[in-house]
Chain A
Amino acid sequence: MASKNGFKPAKGRRAVVVGGVRTPFCKAFTELTELDTIALGSAAVAGLLKQLELPARELDAVVWGGVVLPPLSVNIGREIVLELKLPAAVEAMTVTRACASGLQAITTAAAAIERGDADVVIAGGSDSTSNAPIAFPPKVVQKLGPLVLGGKGTPADYFGALAQLMPLADILPRVPKIAERTTGEVMGEAAERMAKRNEISRAAQDEFAARSHHRAARAIASGRFDREVSKVEAPGGWVHADNLVRADTSMEKLAKLKPVFAPDGTITAGSASPLTDGAAATLLMSEEKARALGLTPLAALRSWSYVGVDPADQLLIGPALCMPEALDKAGMKLADIDFVDLHEAFAAQVLSVIKALASPAFARERLGRSEAVGEIDVARLNVHGGSIAIGHPFAATGARMVTTMANELALSGKSTALLGICAAGGLGAAAVMERV
């Protein structure tokens, strides 16, 4: 995917984003708990089709992102198609690239359209932390699995197998933990190390987090998100709005929170993205098809870039490497960009990335270029808040960002947006969007 060559549309075809819809983003184990990732995805896709009044028969494919996938129905993209009773001919796949899964789904769809493989594709992602499978350790599965799945065990066999499963600590179900497999480090610990190494202060993080909430709250209050958020029916009733954004937070309030990942640390629950349930879907088409259907193209993806860095070094610094690469592919400079939208895994991570991009030494040593990539003015950064305030259903975030930026370009009349997303495993993702 990470083509080192510049972007060359096949035969002049261009994929355009014509719209995007997401569910409300809700704190895990709150209003959306009873909807699993497929139900959430279906809600977002249904909302999108309804809003754009797109006849389902026009749809060629669904590309869906997921991070915490249900073990028995991994291709959630296809499950969404079937659950919504879309035409069986709408083929579907599921992609996973940790927190960049949503953007991955969108760039996969754009590439397919530009290659001429499809005309109309829904791309997005969903995650329900509330429904994360609680895994039994391999030891339990290996002992009991043959009896359960084989169906031939006698009670004596079960007791025999159980007897081998001591000590108890070995067989308790494991709480799913967002830890790196290779380093064993929880993401917050990695971010904590980044904060220390990049000398990001607690105050700077709290200030950033407060701004994220205030901007998101303003967007909600002003109705800016109305066309992006579609209500969802849950068993407990209709869910209309995001429930994580706090209009009334402040640096003073955030300053009172205790660090979560290290006793002497700087990252708190207030400056980290929370565990969230939600889904987001975007509709992509070839430009001609959009015009033929009478839909207004909002934006196109001018370039994108994915990179990997060593998780043991700075786990979440990837965007500082792939954002310049995406700019290069787009033939642009950071100064040409009107909006920058960065996924806020942690305020410390965003501020580390921004610091690296502004550093001439970083440019020289890490990017092999003589000048810094550039400063990012807060006026054009995450103009409607980000994952800290709105929440972060892992695979939905990329599609939320693309939707918000596509609308922002169309509404503001400005021309370009740069997206950056960090992801587990030391991955980084970036894209340059332009108004159509």
Chain B
Amino acid sequence: MTDMLLSLGQNRVARNLVARAKLPIPLPQRLDRIEGGSVERPLEGKTVLVAGAGALGEPLARTLARAGAEPWLRSEAQLAAFAGPGEAYARPSKLIGAEPEAGQTVNAIVVDATGFELHADLKLLWQIYNPWLKALAQNGRSLILARPPESARRADQAAVRAALDGFNRSLAKEIGGKGATANLVYVDDGAEERLSAVVRFLLSKPSAFITAQPVRVSAQARWDGEDPWTQPLARKVALVTGAGRGIGEATARVLAAEGAHVVCLDRPEDDAALSLVARDVGGSLLLCDVAAEDAPAKIAAYLTEKHGGVDIVVHNAGVTRDRTLARMSERLWDQVLEINLGAILSITSRLLQGPLRDGGRIVSLSSIGGIAGNTGQTNYAASKAGLIGMTRKLASDLAPRAITVNAVAPGFIETRMTAAVPAVVREVGRRLSALGQGGQPEDVARAIAFLSSPGSAGVTGGVLRVCGGAFLGA
């Protein structure tokens, strides 16, 4: 389904007209996405303004230099951390002024707020963003790095840390019009080395539809330090359920592009579509109804026999059977709870008894509906919220095995399912978000690929929203 405003926004004349006439039409900015897999230098030539001097200067400097970014620094105190990496990758940093020069644009603003202690420290945000926001490029990025409020020792410290969340969410809405995103990363003490993959992801194109989110990076899961920048999923076996179309298909394609062998699973009646996907991605085909009683055993046996196990499990298969609760039949209730929750619980439990290898990754598709609730979706929201509970518990249970468990909550994504929604509802779904547009299945797939990568070991037990900053269910 084409998004008319998005297309109109590409037309310079139309854009100018709308702006000049001050028409109340938000013309969304087309998001920058990548083709294929991760590249060696995801931030090649991007200018990144780094402000704030906290504990993360060095890991940040290393990641930015290697990623090909040009660091712009606000204070001389930061120079030491950036000097070495700048020399190693020939990306010398430069000191910039308090305000941008005429015509100067910056691709990303990164604030290391780990040193924030008092509420007055928050003033730095104003000092940086107030002058520099006008210089932020289209499809730009804002990233704030901080310590989590939960680990604060004092109330004022906790307040400062939590304040960043509100700031970030508001900022996301203010810059969404130019296709720019704003995210916040809470880094635990001792998880600094796990920051690199998260920073790369949130500053580069694959995170185009993720904005206004706080992401927690912890040292909870065991990690051997592996963090390949390209082909991160090489030699991994990934199971994607519901891979025949939509988000599942996009996930199969992206995981394969990142190097994984993808076992594409869908219902036997979707044989035709699934075969095409499996063939395209050079993966294998597993026809199976996830809700069938023998599904867990069948899947486990297949993975063990054909591939000697599995490294990545993406629980994507799901259905909606919307009806207000008073009108909902028992069948509709059961179907949704069985497919969306029961099947996932039993398949996961069976895979944990052997096929899922240590260092593995489990990603479940939750939903904004599961977080916010929706009229007519009691069954669906229950199943999707249930997955979040499962995710949290498994994350702590499996941390010693170096397995991470996460959920992804898509917002309005342009799929066959949303194309069938009435036009007005669809329009509202698209526009009520910071980025003012729907996402692509691929945007969700990129988030899943990130959470499936060895380098994402710091992220576990969380729900990553891929929603364009949807106003719903924040």
Contact = CB atoms under 8 A, between A and B. Distances in A.
A359 B91 contact: no
A352 interface: yes
A310 interface: yes
B41 interface: yes
Q: Quick one: which of B62, B84, B87, B92 has the most chain A CB within 10 A? A: B87
B163 interface: no
Q: Which of B66, B83, B88 has the most CB of A within 10 A?
A: B88
Contacts of B65: 365
Contacts of A194: 90
A312 B66 CA distance: 14
B40 A362 contact: no
Contact of B84 (A317, A356, A360): A360
Contacts of B90: 194, 197-198, 314, 317, 352, 356
A364 interface: yes
A312 B84 contact: no
Given A310-B40, A313-B68, A365 B62 contact: yes
A361 interface: yes
Given A197-B90, A197-B92, A310-B40, A365 B85 contact: yes
Contacts of A359: 87-88
Interface in A281-316: 310, 312-314
B88 A366 contact: yes
A365 B40 contact: no
A197 B70 CA distance: 10
Chain B interface residue count: which class? 10 to 19
Contact of A362 (B44, B68, B87): B87
Contacts of B68: 313
A371 interface: no
Interface string A331-360: 000000000000000000000100110011
A365 B40 CA distance: 14
Contact of B89 (A312, A360, A365): A365
A362 B87 CA distance: 7
A199 interface: yes
A349 to B, nearest CB: 12
Contacts of A197: 90-92
Contacts of B44: 312-313
Interface in A20-40: none
B18 to A, nearest CB: 36
Contacts, number: 42
A199 to B, nearest CB: 6
A364 B66 CA distance: 12
Contacts of B85: 361, 365
Residue of A314, A356, A360, A361 ringed by the most chain B CB atoms within 10 A:
A361
Nearest to A312: B44
Interface in B27-67: 40-41, 44, 62, 65-66
Contact of B41 (A313, A317, A364, A366): A313
Nearest to B62: A365
Contacts of B86: 361
A432 to B, nearest CB: 24
Interface in A188-210: 194, 197-199
A364 B65 CA distance: 13
A362 B88 CA distance: 4
A396 B430 CA distance: 63
A165 B44 CA distance: 39
A15 to B, nearest CB: 36
Given A310-B40, A312-B44, A313-B41, A365 B88 contact: yes
Given A310-B40, A365-B66, A199 B92 contact: yes
A314 B68 CA distance: 11
A194 B62 CA distance: 19
B92 A364 contact: no
A310 B68 CA distance: 12
Contacts of A360: 84
A355 B83 CA distance: 14
Nearest to A365: B88
Contact of A361 (B40, B41, B83): B83
A355 to B, nearest CB: 8
Interface string B66-94: 10100000000000000111111111100
Contacts of B89: 365-366
Nearest to A355: B87
A349 B349 CA distance: 58
A227 to B, nearest CB: 40
B35 to A, nearest CB: 16
Given A310-B40, A313-B41, A313-B68, A361 B91 contact: no
Interface string B384-412: 00000000000000000000000000000
Nearest to A310: B40
A325 to B, nearest CB: 17
Contacts of B66: 365
A231 to B, nearest CB: 43
A360 B92 CA distance: 15
A282 to B, nearest CB: 34
Contacts of B84: 360-361, 364-365
A355 B68 CA distance: 19
B70 to A, nearest CB: 9
A62 to B, nearest CB: 39
Nearest to B44: A312
Contact of A364 (B40, B83, B88, B91): B88
Interface in B186-202: none
A198 B92 CA distance: 7
Interface in A109-147: none
B407 to A, nearest CB: 35
Contacts of A361: 83-88
A258 B86 CA distance: 29
A161 to B, nearest CB: 37
Contacts of B88: 356, 359, 361-362, 364-366
A45 B222 CA distance: 63
A374 B41 CA distance: 27
Contacts of A365: 62, 65-66, 84-85, 88-89
A113 B386 CA distance: 70
A327 B258 CA distance: 35
Interface string A164-197: 0000000000000000000000000000001001
A323 to B, nearest CB: 16
A366 B92 CA distance: 16
A40 to B, nearest CB: 36
A374 B88 CA distance: 14
Contacts of A356: 87-88, 90
A309 to B, nearest CB: 10
A361 B90 CA distance: 11
Contacts of B83: 361
Contacts of A199: 92
B288 to A, nearest CB: 42
A239 B102 CA distance: 58
B77 to A, nearest CB: 19
A366 B40 CA distance: 13
A195 to B, nearest CB: 10
B83 to A, nearest CB: 7
A11 B341 CA distance: 67
B42 to A, nearest CB: 13
A314 B66 CA distance: 12
Contacts of B40: 310, 313
Nearest to A362: B88
A197 B62 CA distance: 16
A342 B427 CA distance: 63
Interface of B: 40-41, 44, 62, 65-66, 68, 83-92
The 6 A-B pairs with the shortest beta carbon distances in the complex, nearest first, are: A361-B84, A365-B88, A197-B90, A361-B88, A362-B88, A361-B87
9 contacts: A199-B92, A313-B44, A314-B90, A361-B83, A361-B85, A362-B88, A364-B88, A365-B66, A365-B89
Given A356-B90, A365-B84, A366-B88, 6 more contacts: A312-B44, A313-B41, A313-B44, A355-B87, A361-B87, A365-B62
